[in-house]
Amino acid sequence: MKRIVTLDDFVETYTKLRQRGLGFILSKFTFSDTERAKTAFNHFNISSSNWSIIPQIKLRWQKIITSNEEMAIEDFTVHKFLKNRKGLKMLSLGSGNCASEIAFAKHPNFELILCTDIAEKRLKTGKKNAKSAGLKNIDFKIQDVNDLRLENDTYDIVYFKASLHHFKNVEKLVSKTLMQILKPNGLLIINEYVGPSRLQFPKHQIKAINKALKLIPKPYRKRYKLNIYKNKVYGPGWLRMILADPSECIDSENIMPSIHQNYNTVYEASYGGNILQLALKDIAHHFIDLNKEKKEVLDGLFYFEDTYLKNHKSDFIFGIYEPKTKQLTK
């Protein structure tokens, strides 16, 4: 059931006003879905306080995915699954600032990594960082996937890092478009949000998030740049999701069914986010520098989410897949 408008929508709008300014809010007043989507990413000097900025969260992801919290996911992927493969060509769709793609490009296994995105400013940042790193095997192209025209059997890897959930008609994308451009030995690699579309979380999940929120002492629930405390989560409203970014989680709940129907699983790791993402939104800044109390709070939240995940599917997945119609030769 859709939540059309919630109290969280008003708080989020006010938060964005404080974080990004009036210009950002006004940029949403356009009839162009593409232009509204661009405004979500084409901004510099954005400060926010979401779960991904917490160092312990990143270590948690790495531990779950690689079994070693000190190992970067890109290094794990290359060493375990691409070790004996050279001259690889990777296509990244929705690359953003290309930080993950740059990490891959530092490995000699790759002949070319092509980063694409509609957000030109973020691609320029990636290009600048790649140049500073002295990388010659990575390129950048402003590209809308809907206008993507590539020859068949072009790439060894198609990669999505927090971007596939922005694409509509996921089943068609993964079953036809990606199948065509992947080589016979090709791999689809994702690191993605795969939960409910438009972040329309079920009631039991919202209820669990609010239980987790109670585990956080009040001083650590003060919202970033706001003089108010986070006492309850209502979940995003469907209308604000459309207005803020028409591409956000547009077809995310169909990602895993579409992949599993058309691809064989080489490797897959679920790393949660069902509780932590919303519980820590706008208050994550309190947990960047940890003392004993803050670490205990995070450990409690981690345990709470791990318990929840025993009976519920993960909202975030890292996975490597091979097309069923183009079996990987061993």
Cα–Cα distances in Å, from 255 out to 20, 110, 138? 31, 27, 27
pLDDT at 44: 47
Cα–Cα distances in Å, from 10 out to 114, 237, 261? 39, 10, 39
Predicted confidence pLDDT, tens digits, the chain (330 residues): 789 999 999 988 887 777 666 565 555 555 445 544 444 554 444 568 899 999 999 999 999 999 999 999 999 999 999 999 999 999 999 999 999 999 999 999 999 999 999 989 999 999 999 999 999 999 999 988 777 778 899 999 999 999 999 999 999 999 999 999 999 999 999 999 999 999 999 999 999 999 999 999 999 999 998 889 999 999 999 998 998 889 999 999 999 999 999 999 999 999 999 999 999 999 999 999 999 999 999 999 999 999 999 999 999 999 999 999 865 444
The whole-model pTM stands at 0.91
Strand partners, 113: 90, 138
d(CA 148, CA 89): 17
Q: Which amino acid is at 102?
A: I
CB-count burial class (<10 Å; 0-12, 13-18, 19+) for 147? exposed
d(CA 163, CA 181): 18
CB 240 within 8 A of CB 12: yes
pLDDT at 19: 66
CB-count burial class (<10 Å; 0-12, 13-18, 19+) for 267? middle
The answer to whether the Cα torsion of 326, 320, 255, 152 is positive or negative is negative
CATH number attached to the domain at 7-323 = 3.40.50.150
Going by C-alpha positions, the residue among 145, 132, 279, 130 that lies closest to residue 214 is 279
pLDDT at 112: 98
